[in-house]
Structure 1
Amino acid sequence: MAVHGTVAAGFEGVCEEFASFLEREEHDPGAQLVVYRGGERVVDLWSAGVTAESLLAVFSSTKGAMALVAALLVQDGVLDLDRTVASYWPEFAGRGKDGITLREVLAHRAGLVGIDRGFTREELADDRRIAELLADQRPFWQPGQFFGYHGYVIGALVGEVIVRATGRTLQEWYEERIRAPYGLDLWLGLPESEEPRFLSTLPMLTTPEQQAELDAAPYSRFSLGGIAFNEHAPDAVELEEFVNARPVRAKGQASCGGIGSARGLAGMYAAAAFGLDGRAPLLEPNTAAEFARIHSAGTDLVSDSVKQFGLGFNTIAGSFASVAAGSFGHSGAAGSLAFADPRQGFAYAYTRRRYAYPGGAAPENAGLLWSVARALR
């Protein structure tokens, strides 16, 4: 499969690894890969199934934009991590939620992974409606004592705190402070004018062995995992189809409704950690360190697997040995991965159009990251 794009001198090995991965693939994944060294873009590659300007669903990589908005407002003194959510949003206090702090929400410790009846498709596209329904929901575990991935709802919870504190939505803050100033191709609310560049997510392709593995591990749709991914709802939608619906893209659901490119994702993290276009980094070192610091580690009650979270961000170093401690970013269900590594001085973003087996950051990220690490050395 053809590789398109450019790499700076010294990063030829990244292009070779990207080409090697594509050669092993039977079907073009529609992949994009971008790396910044500090504020300089040094890798800009894509496969034949997309262009550099194609806009793809980035699923939970959206949470990185959500977390960055929260970090900026904490840095500004507008939000306080250790204030209770109810002190901003009084309706939230009922059903044992009065002591939950913003820090616990961002660390996936609130116990509010969904609602008892499940969300309708229309509700799941709308952060304000999600928040309204969660305000009347009892937690699924003692808040603060355990953690579990708030996959569909963390953006709505954080977003409602932001609305109550500032009178403006998370999406409005993102557009004004982050996307528009840098011209980033990462949207929380895709305008109609940009729709022609959007390429819908393609379904996962599996071998018989892979499908057997997926089928061998069924779980109840009423388990914590089923509730967190809304599989118990009467009109449940498959995650891979979620952002193929225009209302989700238009509203910019802040947990997993973002639309963008690898250029947009990598540019956001470069701006956050290193600065772009001669500007200072968006995040001060202390802010970046606090949001990257591990707040939740161990068994995630939703996925029943070992995970680590900072505040809103994944702690990427826990999943990839070539990534330094203190890195911050997020992965997405179709295979995307994007983050900043302040210690090694780079920002990375990988996206793909075809849903990757088995979900989450696609397996090829490991090899691509090793090639980046070698180039940096």
Structure 2
Amino acid sequence: MTVNVNGTVAAGWEPVREEFGAFVAAERISPEAQLAVYHRGRRVVDLWAGEDTGADTLSGVFSITKGAAHLVVALLAQDGVLELDRPVSAYWPEFTGDGKEGLTVRQLVAHQAGLVNTDEGFDYEEIADDALIAARLAGQKPRWEPGTAYGYHASVIGALTGEVVRRATGRSLQEVYEERIRAPFGIDLYMGLPEALGERWKPVLDTVLTPAQAALRAAGAARAPELQPVAFNQHRDQPMDLVTFANHPRVRALGPASAGGMGSARGVAALYAAAIGVLDGRPALLTPRTAAEVARPHGAELGPDRVTTESDHFALGFERQPAVGPAAFGHSGAAGGQGFADPATGVAYGYTRRRFGFPGGVAYENGALTAAVLKAAGDAGRG
């Protein structure tokens, strides 16, 4: 396959472009990918490749949205508007019964509520509406005693934390994000895509599996933990299709905080650059103390994830980044994208792909791309 790699890299960052180009050339079908990296105050990587993807193309970024949502939570906790160790019910009185009344905001954000979905799930119109999701989950019996285990609340965590934000501030999480983070920093990552930007939007594309990949996917689905289809809203008579979800007009319009963001790699990288203060020399959104707190492991002592069976996966709403370093925090997206910040190296990384990778979740190429980025950052620090 021949797909041109476009864009620029700063001097010393050429190996990142080479790695990106090698990955694109090795793909059977164009991944429609973008890569952007900030390092200590400047953008040093700005690359894209695809038949229908440009520098400023916007598309669904899935759970990368959770990083934006939980940056809002971290900022409000830093401001003292939210108290992480206060019960959720102190902000949201209806959040009671079956042990929910003792759950703290910290535990909620760390995926410990046991409310991975309702018994009946949500259709596409409903899954776009965070307020509706939150209202239904408030009366749902948890799948485990809240605070005693954790499991990835894939489709609903943004609605749950968003309701706490709304009760504490009088504003939706999406509104706070727009006012405090996206607009002031000019970040090209939206929770609710403005109609004026519709011409820049391109749909998420499904992957085309080989017979061997199709067999592996089917075998994986058969072995999936009991709660996994529930958490991903696939326990309905008509299971939710992730491509249809990302491209649904109501999802684009409302920007549900769990997985409904629309953005570019530039936007993802800028989000994390703004968090740690490496965006064009502007002050960091998070103090070093807050950045360290959101990167700290949460829930490791509670055993493996009840949804995914992974261990020691979550920081405070973010995913830990062990391949980057103990200070790093970020979040991946279902199509293969990834975003993270690393205060130790001054790196903010954003990678998106419009075409789903196999098998889904953070795509394999992020490993080599991240390694190339960190090496270039280290070489720059020694120069």
Same fold (TM over 0.5): yes
Within the candidate set 115, 118, 123, 1:120 is matched to 123
* Shift of residue 184, structure 1, vs aligned partner: 1.0
Q: Is the 8 A contact 2:38 2:278 kept in 1?
A: no
Q: Which residue of 1 aligns with 2:150?
A: 147
Write out aligned runs for 1:84-99 (5 A): 84-99=87-102
The one-letter amino acid of 2:270's match is G
Separation of aligned partners in 1, 2:277 and 2:168: 28
Q: How much has 1:217 moved relative to structure 2?
A: 2.7
Cα RMSD, aligned residues only = 1.4
Percent same amino acid at aligned positions? 54
Deviates more, 1:298-307 or 1:37-46: 298-307
Give the alignment partner of residue 11 of structure 2, picking from 9, 14, 24.
9
Matched residue, 1:376: 377
Structure 1 residues 230-280: Cα deviation after superposition (integer angstroms, max 9, x where no partner): 112234321232110010110010000000000001001001102434421
How many residues were matched structurally? 373
* Structure 1 residue 374 displacement after superposition: 1.7
Residue pair 1:60, 1:332 contacting (<8 A) in 2 also: yes
Whether contact under 8 Å (2:9, 2:45) holds in the other structure is yes
**Separation (CA, whole Å) in 2 of partners of 1:359 and 1:81:** 32
Of 130, 133, 138 in structure 2, the residue corresponding to residue 130 of structure 1 is 133
Whole-angstrom CA distance in 2 between matches of 1:375 and 1:232: 44
Partner Cα distance (1:59, 1:157) in 2: 17
Match in the other structure for 2:49: 47
Residue correspondence of structure 1 range 224-303 to structure 2 within 5 A: 224-297=227-300, 298-303=303-308
Partner of 2:69: 66
SS in 2 for 1:330: strand
Q: Is the 8 A contact 1:61 1:336 kept in 2?
A: yes
Task: Look up the equivalent residue of 1:131 and give its one-letter code.
Answer: A
Equivalent-residue separation in structure 2 for 1:183 and 1:287 (angstroms): 22
Q: Which amino acid aligns with 2:288?
A: P
Per the TM alignment, residue 164 of structure 1 is displaced from its structure 2 partner at its CA by 0.6
Question: Counterparts of 2:231 and 2:175 in 1: how far apart (Å)?
Answer: 26
- Give the whole-Å Cα distance in 2 for the aligned partners of 1:107 and 1:244: 28
Is the 8 Å Cα contact of residues 188 and 257 (structure 1) preserved in structure 2?
Answer: yes
**Does the alignment pair 1:305 with 2:305?**
no
Q: Are residues 1:191 and 2:194 paired?
A: yes
Pick the aligned partner of 1:157 from 157, 160, 173.
160
Comparing 291-300 and 9-18, the one that deviates more:
291-300
Shift of 1:221: 9.2
Q: Quick one: which amino acid aligns to residue 63 of structure 1?
A: K
Report if aligned partners of 1:188, 1:258 keep a CA contact under 8 Å in 2: yes
Aligned to 1:172: 175
Equivalent position of 1:27 in the other structure? 29
Change (3 A) 1:365 1:222: closer
The Cα of 1:373 is off from its aligned counterpart by 1.6
Secondary structure (helix, strand or coil) at the match of 1:149 reads coil
Q: Which runs of 5+ in 1 are unaligned?
A: none
- The residue that corresponds to 2:345 in the other structure is 344
Instruction: Give the structure 1 partner of residue 334 of structure 2.
Output: 333
Report the alpha carbon displacement of residue 307 of structure 1 after superposing the two structures with TM.
Answer: 4.6
Normalized against structure 2, the TM-score is what?
0.95
| Equivalence for 2:362 | 361
Among 209, 214, 221, the alignment partner of 1:211 is 214
Question: What residue identity is the alignment partner of 2:318?
Answer: F
Q: CA deviation at 1:142?
A: 1.3
Give the structure-1-normalised TM-score.
0.96
